[in-house]
């Protein structure tokens, strides 16, 4: 089974590329983030024609997540248990489904904006709710993973130059502690395995030639429990999809599973 995660930065803008990538990559399950559309505007019919069911959680603003699957889609959950609100809104940042014997969460963690900003506190509270929501599945025997845009670089090696991030979000001790606590539920970062690039960044800003200069960050992650991790046969960033006109500023992260492994 091939499972992937991709912040598409507007599914409406990226639909043609998304459909072409699904056909080319032969992905079975895809977790999407930053849909930037509401549920009614989600392009369910073109995706269904391509063979994919969709579980969508979206409201038309800057957020929105989905799980696409061509191997079944059941037991859908939208939102986190006890998830915090921001400015009175429970933002659509998490959706889960069972797909072909694997349970996945697609998550779009809040950005945090600035250290000390109320959005930064919201980000940490959101991480806490995510940890509580997934703890039971993370400790279970069913292959399970949380995939998405975490808006945190786990280590200094996961940014192009840590000196450029002094005092900034995405690399703070508080954010990395939140990630460590999430891993503490029984999850492992599955991407540091045989990789097709030495520095597998997943995000490059559109500005200042960041992509050609490889000034990127690894903030799109796949955290799997023990049964999921034991089944991983390959994991990589599809850097080629970041190239060309109309690309998202994120690249897909792809994980291959042999479900009879272990």
Q: Is the dihedral of CA 86, 42, 36, 243 positive or negative?
A: positive
Is residue 199 included in any domain, yes or no?
yes
Give domain status of residue 262, yes or no: no
Give the burial class of 110: count Cβ atoms within 10 A of its Cβ; 0-12 exposed, 13-18 middle, 19 or more buried.
Answer: buried
Tell me if 126 is assigned to some domain. yes
Tell whether 96 is covered by a domain: yes
Active site residue 223: no
22 is written with which tokens? Answer: 């699904």
CB burial string 38-62: b at 16+ within 10 A, e below: ebeebbbeebeeeebbbbbbbeeee
205 annotated as a binding-site residue: no
Active site residue 170: no
Q: 52, 57, 98, 108: which one is catalytic? A: 108
Taking Cα atoms as reference points, which of 200, 197, 208, 211 lies closest to residue 248?
A: 211
Q: Tell me whether residue 64 is in a domain.
A: yes
- Whether residue 260 is annotated as binding a ligand: the answer is no
Which residue has tokens 């089974």? 1
Q: What is the pLDDT of residues 168-186, one digit of tens each?
A: 999 999 999 999 999 999 9
Query: Which pLDDT tens digit goes with each residue over 208-224?
Result: 999 999 999 999 999 99
Helical residues (DSSP H) of 59-172, grouped into ranges: 118-138
pLDDT, tens digit (0-9, with 9 covering 90-100), for 102-111 = 999 999 999 9
Q: Is residue 149 annotated as part of the catalytic site, yes or no?
A: yes
Please tell me the pTM assigned to this model: 0.96
Q: What is the pLDDT of residue 260?
A: 73
List 98, 149, 158, 238, catalytic entry: 149
- CATH number, domain containing residue 136: 3.60.10.10
Helices marked H in the chain — which ranges? 11-25, 44-49, 118-138, 173-183, 226-230
What pLDDT is attached to residue 198?
61
Residue 20 lies in a domain: yes
> Does 249 count as an annotated binding residue?
yes
Compute CA 196 distance to the chain's CA centroid, rounded to the nearest angstrom: 19
Domain that holds residue 32: 2-257
30 assigned to some structural domain: yes
Number of structural domains found in the chain: 1
pLDDT in tens, 81-136: 999 999 988 999 999 999 999 999 999 999 999 999 999 999 999 999 999 999 99
- The answer to whether 149 is a known ligand-binding residue is yes
């Amino acid at each position: 089974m091939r499972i992937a995660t991709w912040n598409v930065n507007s599914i409406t803008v990226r639909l043609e590329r998304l459909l072409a990538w699904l056909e080319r990559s032969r992905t079975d399950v895809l977790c999407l983030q930053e849909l930037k559309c509401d549920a009614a505007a989600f392009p369910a019919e073109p995706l269904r024609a391509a063979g994919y069911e969709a579980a969508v959680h979206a409201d038309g603003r800057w957020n929105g997540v989905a799980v696409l699957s061509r191997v079944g889609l059941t037991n859908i959950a939208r939102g986190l248990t006890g998830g915090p609100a921001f400015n009175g809104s429970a933002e659509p940042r998490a959706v889960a489904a069972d797909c072909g014997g694997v349970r996945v969460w697609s998550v779009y963690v809040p950005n945090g904006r600035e250290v000390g900003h109320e959005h930064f506190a919201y980000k940490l509270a959101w991480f806490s709710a995510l940890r509580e929501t997934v703890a039971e599945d993370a400790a279970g025997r069913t292959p399970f993973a949380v995939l998405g845009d975490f808006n945190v670089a786990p280590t200094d090696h996961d940014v192009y130059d840590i000196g450029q991030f002094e005092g900034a979000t995405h690399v703070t001790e508080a954010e990395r502690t939140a990630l460590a606590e999430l891993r503490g539920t029984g999850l492992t970062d599955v991407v540091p395995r045989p990789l097709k690039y030495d520095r597998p960044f997943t995000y490059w800003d559109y500005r200042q030639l960041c992509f050609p200069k490889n000034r990127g960050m690894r903030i799109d992650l796949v955290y799997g429990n023990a049964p999921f991790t034991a089944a991983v046969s390959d994991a990589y960033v599809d850097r080629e999809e970041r190239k060309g006109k109309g690309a998202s500023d994120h690249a897909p992260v792809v994980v291959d599973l042999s479900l009879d492994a272990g």
